């Protein structure tokens, strides 16, 4: 199967993925009476594994719910010395060069990878390792916080695949990297 590294993330109008305190309440600011998942479950069905940054992992751990993932999760960290207690069998901790990390995960048979976390996505983009961007824009200006994008060493072009509007307010754009 073709190897793809895919970003699926929600951002504010001004390009943040968490507010100044790391808060995510604004993601749910649009009334959603029918509990639309905005394509999330279909997306998750189509991936083999996740690679996420340590901050995102810790945010997920802080949610008052069971472990939400049914696919293998690889957490990038230079500071975690092992898998935190309670997460054995749920995650693996990796660190090193991104190409080595992606090779290692691909060699385990996981080809379609969901790349999650701000700094993680930025470091993948810096090395041109992202093949698809699925970005859901919430109509709010946060005024600061954790940015989705940062400086890049070169211009990178993407081809628009489709746009969807959810709840009459939330726009989801899907792009493929032009190579
Ligand atoms: N809006 C959304 O849809 C959405 C989605 C995901 C996350 N979020 C939120 O956005 C924020 C993301 O935080 P963040 O920007 O700090 O990003 P992050 O990517 O989640 O975490 C950054 C951490 O990941 C580790 N890391 C990243 N690249 C690495 C590499 N190549 N090798 C080893 N370790 C690496 C480092 O951990 P160490 O410091 O341990 O080395 C780094 O400090 C969180 O608040 C999260 O809840 C929002």
- What six digits make up the tokens of 90? 């749920």
Tens digit of each residue's pLDDT (9 = 90 or more) over 129-178: 999 999 999 999 999 999 999 999 999 999 999 999 999 999 999 999 99
DSSP state, residue 84? P
Nearest of 107, 111, 101 to residue 2 by alpha carbon? 111
pLDDT of residue 132: 98
DSSP conformational letter for 141: -
Cβ–ligand 1 distance for 87 under 6 Å, the answer no
Atom of ligand 1 nearest to the CA of 94: 33
**pLDDT per position as a tens digit, 16-50:** 999 999 999 999 999 999 999 999 999 999 999 99
Is 59 a pocket residue for ligand 1 (Cβ < 6 Å)? yes
Task: Give the model confidence (pLDDT) of 59-75 as tens digits.
Answer: 999 999 999 999 999 99
User: Cα angle vertex 143, ends 140, 145, to 5°?
Assistant: 100
Task: Name the residue of 80, 119, 142 whose CB sits within 8 Å of the most ligand 1 atoms, as the mutation to test its pocket.
Answer: 119
Q: What is the pLDDT of residue 135?
A: 98
Give me the mean pLDDT over the 66-91 stretch.
96
Whether the CA torsion 36, 41, 43, 44 is positive or negative: it is: positive
Query: What is the pLDDT at residue 115?
Result: 98
Is the CB–ligand 1 distance for residue 79 below 6 Å? yes
Give the E-state strand segments of 78-129 in sequence order.
91-94, 112-116
pLDDT value for 179: 94
Cα torsion 106, 108, 109, 115: sign: negative
**Interhelix angle for 54-62 vs 118-126, to 10°?**
160
pLDDT of residue 1: 79
SS3 for 57? helix
């Amino acid at each position: 199967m073709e190897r793809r590294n895919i970003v699926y993330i929600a951002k504010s109008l001004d390009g943040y993925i968490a507010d100044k305190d790391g808060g995510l309440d604004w993601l749910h600011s649009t009334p959603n009476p029918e509990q639309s998942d905005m394509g999330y479950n279909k997306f998750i069905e189509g991936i083999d594994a996740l690679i996420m940054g340590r901050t995102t992992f810790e945010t997920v751990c802080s949610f008052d719910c069971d472990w939400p993932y049914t696919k293998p999760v690889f957490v990038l960290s230079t500071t975690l010395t092992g898998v935190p207690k309670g997460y054995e069998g749920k995650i693996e901790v990796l660190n090193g060069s991104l190409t080595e990390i992606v090779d290692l995960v691909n060699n385990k048979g996981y080809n379609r990878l969901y790349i999650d976390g701000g700094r993680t996505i930025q470091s993948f983009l810096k090395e041109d390792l992202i093949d698809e961007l699925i970005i859901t824009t919430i109509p709010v200006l946060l005024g600061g916080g954790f940015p989705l994008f940062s400086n890049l060493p070169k211009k990178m072009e993407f081809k628009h695949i489709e746009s969807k509007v959810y709840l009459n307010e939330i726009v989801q754009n899907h792009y493929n990297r032009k190579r």
